[in-house]
Structure 1
Amino acid sequence: MTTTQLTFRERFLAREVLFGTFLKIPATMPAEIMGSVGYDFIVVDEEHAPFNRETTDRIILACRATGIAAIVRVQSGAPEAILSALDCGADGVLVPHVTDAESASAIVAAGRYRTGKRGFAPTTRAGDFGRKSQADHMETEDSRVTLIAMIEDPEAVENIDEILAIEGLDGVFIGRGDLGAAYAGQEGAPEHVRRATERVHAAAWRAGRPVAILPGSPEDATAQARAGSTTFIISSDQSFLRADADRAHTEISKAVGVAIE
């Protein structure tokens, strides 16, 4: 089997180096563009951007058209939020603020059929609109869907070994932004974040689970790769647009100014 035939989950669990980005613009074209330039996946950011079920559904379809995996950062770990994304055909979910074994177990319960309590609906895109048998749909989804917990609270760092021990949870994302906000105001806050990141990496290594992270720079990406991260979420469509728009505006206005002078 070649790499292109592997599912996102298989590549993630194999610790293949993967690159993605957050999508915060509720339109299909950013996903198509990311797929066309070689990104492995996108993350539809339902938590912090203005998405609804219809826009998420269309973006997942666009991802299928361009051969890029679609992960959804759901608004919460509520079963209905996870079920909505998976029924639309998402390759997995990124669940915010998982703080203990109980909340990690709830993700697995909502996202798996055989070992969980996922609501059964074979007439969705995930079930090929009813073409699959019940057994085939359940088996395919349980092997295809990727469940990733976001570790972004001090409590989660304290409970990281228990979280990673939950069978059926595929891996974790270290949310250094929220960790930084949680430690803000404390003396040595950046050091707290650094130590928390190291602790999660070490625990994931012991548990044999992959780690995803958002690098702040190429140098940071190098450091986090050496620490054990294998999946990298690079910025967002909004940030790419803003940065390139700012660069073009600066360069062209400067060039025009020189010409006028």
Structure 2
Amino acid sequence: MNPTQGARAAAFRERVLKRETVYGTFIKTPSSHSIEIIGGAGYDFVLIDAEHAPFGRVAADSCILAARAVGAAPLVRVASPHDILGALDDGAFGVMVPHLTSAASTREIVDLCRYAGKRGFSNSPRAGDYGVRTTWEHIDASDKEVLLLGMIEDPEAVEKADEILAVDGLDAVFIGRGDLTAAYRDREAGSPRVRAATLKVMEAAGRHNKPVFLLTANAKEAAEYAALGASGFVTGTDQGFMRAAATSALREYQSALAGR
């Protein structure tokens, strides 16, 4: 990672650790174009969704490059721990790892993200500025630059939130309310079981000084959770933005031209 990009990565991680408010969105389309638009709009980060969207490594690589170019921090939601090394070598500023369920598994994830742990070494990819960074320059800088965002999205993880969030090296937590909704079969209005689980994890995060990220339905909900301590907000997806804008435009045209 060249000095400018490395400094940007470290600065973004520091903002997150200080619980500054940051805004991002999921990228579901394996193309650079939506990232250029979203980054240009001023979003702080993009979450390249290699878990639930059709991203191979080459597509993810080009999207990471686009985010770096446009000034949005590129984070990759990996499908499995095996994908962490590739995302980091390709220059992601961090990874979001799904389904943390215990302190032991979380420590393994931390090790895969840090050269101080078990991250496989290479300074030849983009992250090492294609060899411009020397071995120890790359090793020493990388552990200060990489953001590890873990997902708590299973009922068993909610019950173990304190031990998971106590793990050193886990930088922040994303509470996966969609998976929790499915797991709890919470069909009640307001999703009371999911809200209770969310608050339980947030309380644990507060005890361990870990920032909390959420995907929120709207700005009002974001404000409510910000008042409770959340600082990272995912506002939706690139596909959702396109669907909403396309639907709105079509309805506007249909209304204006009705009866003609």
SS of residue paired to 2:43: coil
1:155 and 2:156 aligned: yes
SS of residue paired to 2:257: helix
Post-superposition offset of 1:192 = 1.3
Distance (Å, rounded) in 2 between the aligned partners of 1:64 and 1:147: 18
Post-superposition offset of 1:222 = 1.2
Post-superposition offset of 1:217 = 1.8
Are residues 230 and 189 of structure 1, via their aligned partners in 2, closer, same or farther at CA, if it must alter by over 3 Å? closer
Per the alignment, residue 142 of structure 2 pairs with 141
Per the alignment, residue 37 of structure 1 pairs with 41
1:92 and 2:124 aligned: no
Per the alignment, residue 103 of structure 1 pairs with 105
Please give the root-mean-square deviation of Cα atoms over the aligned residues, in Å.
1.6
Distance (Å, rounded) in 1 between the aligned partners of 2:25 and 2:200: 24
Please list the CA deviations of residues 61-98 of structure 1 after superposition, one character each: whole Å capped at 9, or x if unmatched: 1111111100000002x2x3100100000010000111
Consecutive unaligned residues in structure 2, runs of 5 or more: 1-6
1:83 and 2:85 aligned: yes
Match runs of 1:1-261 below 5 Å: 7-76=11-80, 78=81, 80-114=82-116, 116-184=117-185, 190-258=191-259, 260=260
Distance (Å, rounded) in 2 between the aligned partners of 1:60 and 1:246: 29
Post-superposition offset of 1:99 = 0.8
Moved over 4 A (4+): 185-189
Distance (Å, rounded) in 2 between the aligned partners of 1:64 and 1:189: 38
Distance (Å, rounded) in 1 between the aligned partners of 2:196 and 2:186: 17
Distance (Å, rounded) in 2 between the aligned partners of 1:152 and 1:189: 18
Please list the CA deviations of residues 203-260 of structure 1 after superposition, one character each: whole Å capped at 9, or x if unmatched: 11110110000111222111111111100011000000001000000101211225x1
Q: 1:46, 1:73 within 8 Å by CA — same for their partners in 2?
A: yes
Are residues 9 and 145 of structure 1, via their aligned partners in 2, closer, same or farther at CA, if it must alter by over 3 Å? same
Q: 1:211, 1:231 within 8 Å by CA — same for their partners in 2?
A: yes
Q: 2:218, 2:235 within 8 Å by CA — same for their partners in 1?
A: no
SS of residue paired to 1:257: coil
Please list the CA deviations of residues 180-218 of structure 1 after superposition, one character each: whole Å capped at 9, or x if unmatched: 100006889922111111111111111011000011122
Post-superposition offset of 1:103 = 1.5
Post-superposition offset of 1:7 = 2.1
SS of residue paired to 2:256: helix
Please list the CA deviations of residues 78-129 of structure 1 after superposition, one character each: whole Å capped at 9, or x if unmatched: 2x31001000000100001111111111110100001x10000110100000
Distance (Å, rounded) in 2 between the aligned partners of 1:66 and 1:172: 25
Aligned-pair identity in percent equals 49
Please list the CA deviations of residues 27-58 of structure 1 after superposition, one character each: whole Å capped at 9, or x if unmatched: 00111111111100000000000001001100
Q: What TM-score do the two structures reach when normalised by structure 1?
A: 0.94
Per the alignment, residue 3 of structure 2 pairs with none
